[in-house]
Amino acid sequence: MTGPAAAGSPGSVGDSARRAGPVLLVREWLTEYARRPLNLALLVVVPIVFVSLSAGALADFADLLGGASDLGQVEAATAGWAAAVLSGVAAFFHISGSREADHRLAAAGAGARRVVVSRLLSTLVLAALASLGALVALGFRTPVAARAEVIGATAISALIYAGIGILVGAVVRSEMNGSLIIVFAWIFDVFFGPGMGGTATFTRAFPLHFPTLVTTGVGSGHAGPVGDLGWSVLWAVAMLALAGRVLVATTGVKTVRVVSARARRLRVALVSAARQMSRMPIMWVLILGLPVAFISASIAATPDEPIPVELVEGGRRTLVLLSMADVHGAVMVPITVGFLAGLAGLFGILDSARADRRLSLTGFRPVEILGVRMGVIAVASLLATAVAMAVTSVSFGPVDWWVFAGANALVALTYSTIGVIVGPVFGRLGGTYVLLVLPFLDVGLAQNAMFDASPPSWGRFLPAHGGVRVMMDGAFTPGFDEWGALVLALAWLAALLGVAVLLFRRLTVAS
């Protein structure tokens, strides 16, 4: 029997799978990826934005912390850092989102090894795109982008994190847990690595340690005969080999996702939301553990030197000299909770989509469902805020704890709501990209008094501006003067909540 009828027969699926070579499968995977042009565009655009806007600020920060003080050195390193995190996240979603399809294809006759080789090759293409975007952005800032060692180290950084992304995608089923692992591993890798002055012996085990040294042109002195470049290449080869081996071993493993929720209306919704969040253990570990490690290490690495900061007291806006360690201790709280709350909102709303559709079919109104989801997400965000403030209180005590706490809670709720909006609009991969860049540019750079005494003009239009100004007022002044900033922060939160309700209602009705 031949023709179309044969193509749909049970045996033909296995025959097609057995005939499919890695190159054909790679083309299929990349074609599938290209059907989501937004993700493809973000893979190139995000490194450009990251390198263009952050290079100068990161160079100043590295200088403060005793890292590579030459602007060109740190600018060169930002290309590798951007390519690394984008490659890691892209690789994770590329693997995680295709586990069931790969399992069926391997079982149909293609074989686990053939499927894995095709996935590895297509992931390398994504890593190359991320590297290209980063190098193009760097080329507009400095001619060092054309140096062979910068190009090579940037590509190696992307390959290392592509391997990490594949490895995490092979063993972690929850997309939120996996993306959090990659993003926060990268944060520690960059901000406590040699580019930022990290000299502790344990930092030599960080994946980007040697590629950063190659890019900045600073010899490690501990690479031995292999050399910094040699260790960088070994890192890339080892991570890709380990990732491939683990992926082969797990491609035949089929996962079963169980979702259950019984009772009536609010009780049913609360039980469903609680169960959904309980399936994200790594998120809870990071909410509790990341502020402890990240904030403590940041404060410990910051010298106790005076820096100028713009504050308002008694209605007068003036520059005040403050301890750099105290300023860093204060701003690390909204930086940390901005990242965590945004990702909690993104995955909290996306991972509950199926349950929410079932609830809507049983008579729940969209506002009721969203209210429950937002309540659970808010609890996670506020818990992260409380932990972050508890950690920073060991080294820094704000003048007014109530204002300080309320302002950080505002930032957390604002970014958790942004995560709720970004998820349905951009999807998991695109949303992760957005929530990696937006809080970094907003809270980490534009509102960060470590980089500039007052926010840049463009920073005043970003979501966290009002909240961070209120936080700085509570941290360092006895009287409250930032009423305009408080109104701005509340207006941002109210507007974002309105957008979230309208978007959720439209999606729920449409589904």
Q: Domain check: are 202 and 314 in the same one?
A: no
Q: Which segments within 258-347 are labelled E, that is strand?
A: 306-313, 316-323
Residue 1 placed within a domain = no
State how far the Cα of 500 lies from the Cα of 103, in Å rounded to an integer. Answer: 36
Q: Which of 204, 227, 253 is the last residue of a domain?
A: 253
What sign has the CA pseudo-torsion 435, 438, 441, 443? negative
Residue 453 placed within a domain = yes
SS (H, E, C) 325-339: HHHHHHHHHHHHHHH
Q: Domain check: are 496 and 467 in the same one?
A: yes
Query: Which token pair is 202?
Result: 């344990």
Q: What is the phi/psi pair of residue 318, to 5°?
A: -140, 165
Residue 4 placed within a domain = no
Q: Which of 207, 225, 253 is the last residue of a domain?
A: 253
Residue 510 placed within a domain = yes
- Write down the pLDDT at residue 403: 93
Q: Domain check: are 482 and 465 in the same one?
A: yes
Residue 3 placed within a domain = no
- Write down the pLDDT at residue 406: 94
Q: How far apart are the first and last CA of the chain?
A: 41
CA nearest neighbour of 430 among 247, 98, 243, 179: 179
Q: Domain check: are 248 and 397 in the same one?
A: no
Could you list the residue range(s) of the whole structural domain that residue 190 is in? 10-253
Residue 2 placed within a domain = no
Q: Domain check: are 234 and 267 in the same one?
A: no
Global pTM exceeds 0.85: no
State how far the Cα of 41 lies from the Cα of 84, in Å rounded to an integer. Answer: 17
Q: Domain check: are 361 and 437 in the same one?
A: yes
Residue 5 placed within a domain = no
Q: Other C-beta atoms within 10 Å of 67: how many?
A: 26
Region at 322 (left for phi over 0; alpha for psi -120 to 50; beta for the rest): beta
- Write down the pLDDT at residue 11: 41
Q: Domain check: are 234 and 299 in the same one?
A: no
Q: Domain check: are 450 and 323 in the same one?
A: yes
Total number of domains in the chain: 2
415: exposed, middle or buried (Cβ count in 10 Å: 0-12, 13-18, 19+) = buried
Residue 89 placed within a domain = yes
Q: Domain check: are 198 and 71 in the same one?
A: yes
Torsion, Cα of 371, 372, 373, 374 (10° steps)? 50
* Alpha-helix residue ranges (DSSP H) falling in 142-174: 148-171
State how far the Cα of 53 lies from the Cα of 72, in Å rounded to an integer. Answer: 14
pLDDT tens across the length of the chain (511 residues): 333 333 333 344 344 444 455 556 666 656 666 556 566 666 666 766 666 666 566 666 665 555 554 555 677 788 888 889 888 988 888 888 777 777 777 776 666 777 788 888 888 888 888 888 888 888 877 787 788 888 999 999 999 999 999 999 888 877 777 877 888 888 888 877 777 766 667 778 889 988 988 888 777 677 777 888 899 999 999 999 998 888 888 876 444 444 333 345 455 555 555 555 555 555 556 666 666 666 666 666 677 788 888 888 888 888 888 888 888 888 888 988 898 889 888 887 877 766 666 666 666 676 667 777 788 788 888 888 888 888 888 888 899 999 999 999 999 999 999 998 998 888 888 888 888 888 888 998 888 888 777 788 888 899 999 999 999 999 999 888 899 999 999 999 999 999 988 887 776 655 5
State how far the Cα of 487 lies from the Cα of 467, in Å rounded to an integer. Answer: 9
Q: What is the phi/psi pair of residue 317, to 5°?
A: -95, 120
Q: Domain check: are 143 and 196 in the same one?
A: yes
- Write down the pLDDT at residue 288: 62
Q: Which segments within 75-195 are labelled E, that is strand?
A: none
Q: Domain check: are 233 and 357 in the same one?
A: no
Region at 174 (left for phi over 0; alpha for psi -120 to 50; beta for the rest): beta
Q: Domain check: are 221 and 144 in the same one?
A: yes
Q: Which of 253, 270, 287 is the last residue of a domain?
A: 253
